């Protein structure tokens, strides 16, 4: 017997559970299907656990620098990786219980199982019914017939043909969370967000790290000024970086990994390797072949309202070809539900979504960077160094900069890049400013408390008019 519902969501990650809550708030009867744990990659194998590790790394860095603050420690601090992991697990469990509580509070039917989309059948004259199978062998398959379906199945780590992942020596980001002890040395293949975050954390916890990037700079989607500053600070910290270096060959010998790089004469020998070369959308095994929903290796094809080629079936998050960020998936979930309820929604301006990298130093940006400003637009660039910011000096972390782009003709705020202390918190001010259509002069003339790191944003905004006070 088929069970009817208003909305069924495949995937209980950030996009899926947020969409479920928003739909329930609108009075819809919602079924949420998740094969693993509510919260998905972000909560269990991504955003939250990595930031918990990075916080432990930050504390270790502070202990190492204690003397520079006038604090003499009697004993040298040591990393207890087991406690680092336990702390992470406690944080993840607290948030996991919170998500489960929200699902219960909003009277959402949660099914821990695997869903497959059915084509037209005796259950429904159109595609979109979902067969749910459960791990419990005593529970039979159930068929749900929703009026609307949202697919939010996320993505999984990519791998290289030369470095097949075994999650023991050659690891994906998932396998990193299974480590019971830190290796002495590690190579990280990929200098994007995932790669540099792990590099920063591992270096702070005492691992000898080498980052191998096939392109000519780290974090290629950030401005060149930011990439150069990250490279400089990583080298200063003792992180080895190999740019323009595709991995040519990998061998296992005596429990070690031997990596031959395209342009390097010497073979790099490490204990473990992390492949951090992006993530691919989960589209296989969902039953999409039973429907006319279009999809490619980049993900499910949707319009600006997240409708697939079958208008009653939507897709959001990492399984579509947009920015693979948790806060993007959340917003896409809200907008998909808004379209379902109201038959309209405001398309998301992806270039104005804030982007964050939680390395030390932190990186954050929103809007355009120098390299992506549309051709023909006349712009002014304002910059300000944290080396001239009182709060940064007080905090003992005065390296980095703020870069602001102003449209010279319209006076619009086009983009902001920050590399330095608490960049991922500072970016919210300028993200809101762009959303509210503020100009750089409004940012610059608004009173900022002193001493604060946010004054660096104020000064960079004023610098687009060549009127910065402290530059």
Residues assigned a catalytic role: 450
Q: What letter does residue 468 receive in the DSSP assignment? A: -
The CA angle 282-283-289, to the nearest 5 degrees, is 165
* Rounded distance between C-alpha atoms, residue 26 and residue 339, angstroms: 12
- 268 backbone dihedrals φ, ψ, rounded to 5°: -90, 125
Q: Which two tokens stand for residue 301?
A: 């094809």
Query: By the 8 A CB rule, do 189 and 248 touch?
Result: no
* Rounded distance between C-alpha atoms, residue 245 and residue 264, angstroms: 8
- 23 backbone dihedrals φ, ψ, rounded to 5°: -65, -40
Give the 3-state secondary structure of residue 202: helix
Q: What letter does residue 318 receive in the DSSP assignment? A: G
* Rounded distance between C-alpha atoms, residue 442 and residue 437, angstroms: 10
Give the 3-state secondary structure of residue 65: coil
H or E, element range at 334: helix 326-342
H or E, element range at 355: strand 355-357
What residue ranges in 95-189 does DSSP mark as E strands? Answer: 109-117, 130-134, 142-151, 155-157, 170-171, 185-189
- 176 backbone dihedrals φ, ψ, rounded to 5°: -60, -30
């Amino acid at each position: 017997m088929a069970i009817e519902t208003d909305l069924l969501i495949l995937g209980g990650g950030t996009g899926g559970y947020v969409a479920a809550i928003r739909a329930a708030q609108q009075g819809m009867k919602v079924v949420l299907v998740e094969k693993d744990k509510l919260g998905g990659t972000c909560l269990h194998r991504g955003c939250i656990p990595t930031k918990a590790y990075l916080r432990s790394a930050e504390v270790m860095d502070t202990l190492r620098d204690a003397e520079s603050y006038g604090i003499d420690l009697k004993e040298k601090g040591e990393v207890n990786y087991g406690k680092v992991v336990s702390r992470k697990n406690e944080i993840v469990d607290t948030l996991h219980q919170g998500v489960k509580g929200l699902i219960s509070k909003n009277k959402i039917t949660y099914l821990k199982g695997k869903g497959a989309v059915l084509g037209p059948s005796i259950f429904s004259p159109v595609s979109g019914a979902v067969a749910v199978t459960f791990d419990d062998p005593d529970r039979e398959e159930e068929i749900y017939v929703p009026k609307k379906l949202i697919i939010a199945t996320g993505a999984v780590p990519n791998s290289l043909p030369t470095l097949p992942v075994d999650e023991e020596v050659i690891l994906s980001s998932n396998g990193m969370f299974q480590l019971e002890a830190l290796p002495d040395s590690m190579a990280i293949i990929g200098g994007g967000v995932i790669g540099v975050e792990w590099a920063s954390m591992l270096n702070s916890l005492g691992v000898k790290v080498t980052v191998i990037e096939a392109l000519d700079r780290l974090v290629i989607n950030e401005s060149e000024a930011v990439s150069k500053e990250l490279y400089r600070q990583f080298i200063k910290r003792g992180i080895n970086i190999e740019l323009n270096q595709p991995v040519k060959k990998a061998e296992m010998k005596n429990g070690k990994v031997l990596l031959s790089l395209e342009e390097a004469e010497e073979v790099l020998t490490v204990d473990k390797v992390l492949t951090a070369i992006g993530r691919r959308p989960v589209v296989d095994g969902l039953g999409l072949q039973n429907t006319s929903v279009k999809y490619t290796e980049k993900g499910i094809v949707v319009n600006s309202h997240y409708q697939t080629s079958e208008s009653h079936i939507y897709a959001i998050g990492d399984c579509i070809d947009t920015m693979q960020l948790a806060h993007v998936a959340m917003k896409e979930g809200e907008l998909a539900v808004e379209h379902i309820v109201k038959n309209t929604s405001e398309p998301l301006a992806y270039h104005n979504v804030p982007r964050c990298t939680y390395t030390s130093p932190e990186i954050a940006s929103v809007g355009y960077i120098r390299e992506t400003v549309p051709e023909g637009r006349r712009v002014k660039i304002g910059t300000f160094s944290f080396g001239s910011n009182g709060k940064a000096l007080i905090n003992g972390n005065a390296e980095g900069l703020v870069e602001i782009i102003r449209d010279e003709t319209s006076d619009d705020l086009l983009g902001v890049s920050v590399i330095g202390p608490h960049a991922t918190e500072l970016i919210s001010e300028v993200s809101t400013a762009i959303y509210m259509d503020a100009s750089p002069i409004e940012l610059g003339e608004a009173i900022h408390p002193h001493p604060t790191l946010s004054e660096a944003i104020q000064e960079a905004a004023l610098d687009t008019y060549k009127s910065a006070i402290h530059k």
